Amino acid sequence: MPAGTFNGTPPATMRAAVYQGNSSIAVESVPTPMPGPGELLVRVESCGICHTDLKKIEYNLLAPPRIFGHETAGVVAAVGAGVTAFQPGDRVVAFHHVPCGECFYCARRLYAQCPVYKKVGITAGGEPAGGGFSQYVRVMDWIVRRGVEKIPGGVSLDAACLVEPVNTCLKAVEMAAPKPDELVLVLGQGPIGLIFTMLVHRTGARILTTDTIERRRELSVRFGAQASYDPPTVDLAGEAKAVTEGRGADVVLVAASAPGIIEQAIGASRPGSRILLFAQTSPKERLEISGADICAGERTLFGAYSADIDLQAESARLVFSGDLPVEELISHRIALDEIGAGIALALHPDAKSLKIIVQPQRTSQ
């Protein structure tokens, strides 16, 4: 069946990649979830492999069994009682978190800290964990009301599943607030780092980037960086100072979690700079830095995590319009049965790998 079409009858069982614990995943046959009142059943066509899920698997951060995957695009297969905004056959992107909009944190636009936001609202069965690494997901009622975007015709489902990561990056860039006369340093040019580069380029700021993989550095320059460096082979602080009259970067976006990367960010930044951590999501990660670099250097060190519902429509527009060429980030499209190899490649990228998309309806070759 072609991607983006609908045949009308969800099956009783489906295939899903189930986290087993001990850093392992197995593809199994599980019951297809059915939608309750106000809910949707979405047939998953595309789901990106995200490093936050990889960390949960690699570091065993959550109890098994769970079905991960949250960068989800697909086709509505069934609607629950009372749903009028969607119908079977609609192509949609579904966010797995939506805030309440009324609590202390929502009033301060800290949506990721909202107790309702912390509840995962999409499941493929069992404890909700996103569920996109499966053939069908159940989208719960509060997500249906505020967290689902229809995909226009002509937009691929593979591109559409990147709306959620674009949202998280757009949130971070807005928090860092680069100005046209500033120098922004982006550390790491994986899929997230390259999205950062695309977004920062739109602000008019100058951009320097780093990555150990040559192809990623080449893409970085194509997407707006004035230069991209292999970090072990360059004096990054010297390069940043050379283009800022000896000061250093005004803004640093840390899009990777390699050892020593925070020290590198501080060393290449000027006094009074803004340093945003984006990739440090595991509670097992620890930082050891000089207090004087932050205090006496008057630097601001802060974090950004997850999506912002206020940016949901804009992130969808950026992807659907083609303003951000995110489909160029996709290096691999794999079947569900190949997810083990896909996860291994995402954890240990080669010279050509970037964004890996799981297509659960596809059969392995």
DSSP 3-state of 27: strand
pLDDT value at 232 more than 50: yes
Residue 181: Cβ within 10 Å count = 9
CA atoms of 151 and 186, how far apart (whole Å): 30
CA atoms of 329 and 349, how far apart (whole Å): 13
pLDDT digits (tens, 9 = 90+) for 309-323: 999 999 999 999 999
pLDDT digits (tens, 9 = 90+) for 76-111: 999 999 999 999 999 999 999 999 999 999 999 999
pLDDT value at 1 more than 70: no
How confident is the model at residue 2, as a pLDDT? 47
- Per-residue confidence band for 269, with pLDDT thresholds at 50, 70 and 90: very high
pLDDT digits (tens, 9 = 90+) for 292-312: 999 999 999 999 999 999 999
- Per-residue confidence band for 4, with pLDDT thresholds at 50, 70 and 90: very low
- Is residue 271 within 8 A of residue 206, CB to CB? The reply is no
Percent of the chain with pLDDT strictly greater than 70? 98
Residue 195: Cβ within 10 Å count = 27
Question: Domains in the chain, ordered, with CATH?
Answer: 13-161+325-359 (3.90.180.10), 167-303 (3.40.50.720)
DSSP H/E element including 270: strand 269-277
pLDDT value at 8 more than 70: no
Q: What does the pLDDT average to over 182-203?
A: 98
- Mean pLDDT (the chain, rounded): 96
CA atoms of 26 and 18, how far apart (whole Å): 5
How confident is the model at residue 363, as a pLDDT? 84
CA atoms of 145 and 264, how far apart (whole Å): 43
Residue 46 CA to chain centroid, in angstroms? Answer: 14
pLDDT digits (tens, 9 = 90+) for 334-354: 999 999 999 999 999 999 999
Q: Which residues does 360 contact at the CB level (< 8 Å), separation at least 6?
A: 15, 44, 45, 47, 132, 133, 134, 135, 335, 336
